[in-house]
């Protein structure tokens, strides 16, 4: 069974600080996606990483896929209250079967 573990599960920081969220597995994934989910809504795709070692940037968010395609990280620079939400990583284990991590609940305090 492919599992993805996210850490930390909860993170509360002040506006302007930097943070990193991790997504780890013992399994190899063909691609990995990051989603953000707000209360009462479905997850919204932020990025897909495909190549080992790949780095993608989305404004203040930087996503990295591990060289072995087993782990990923999300780094947010100068966090803002609008970044608050549940961040989910999801690995593609084949046949478009996405396996989700349990999520990191991020709170940015003004």
Partner 1 sequence: EAGVAQSPRYKIIEKRQSVAFWCNPISGHATLYWYQQILGQGPKLLIQFQNNGVVDDSQLPKDRFSAERLKGVDSTLKIQPAKLEDSAVYLCASSAYYNSPLHFGNGTRLTVT
Among residues 2, 24, 48, 73, the one that binds partner 1 under rule CB under 8 A: 48
* Residues contacting residue 6 through CB under 8 Å, at least 6 positions apart: 21, 22, 23, 24, 87, 88, 89, 101, 102, 103, 104
Nearer to partner 1 by Cβ, of 44 and 68: the residue is 44
Other Cβ atoms within 10 Å of 100 Cβ, number: 15
Question: Is there binding between residue 73 and partner 1 (CB under 8 A)?
Answer: no
CA–CA separation, 93 vs 36, rounded Å?
Answer: 20
The helix/strand/coil state of 102 is coil
Q: Does residue number 49 form part of the binding site for partner 1 (CB under 8 A)?
A: no
Report in angstroms how near the CB of residue 9 gets to partner 1 at its nearest: 8
Cβ at position 15, least distance to partner 1 in Å? 25
Q: How far is the CB of 40 from partner 1 (least distance, A)?
A: 7
């Amino acid at each position: 069974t492919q599992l993805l573990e996210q850490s930390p599960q909860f993170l509360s920081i002040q506006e302007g600080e930097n943070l990193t969220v991790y997504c780890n597995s013992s399994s190899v994934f063909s691609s990995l996606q990051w989603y953000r989910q707000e209360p009462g809504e479905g997850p919204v795709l932020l990025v897909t990483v495909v190549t080992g070692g790949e780095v993608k940037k989305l404004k203040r968010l930087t996503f990295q896929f591990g060289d072995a395609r087993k782990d990923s990280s999300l780094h947010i620079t100068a966090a803002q209250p609008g970044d608050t939400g549940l961040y989910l990583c999801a690995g593609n284990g084949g046949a478009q079967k996405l396996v989700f991590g349990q999520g990191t609940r991020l709170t940015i305090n003004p």
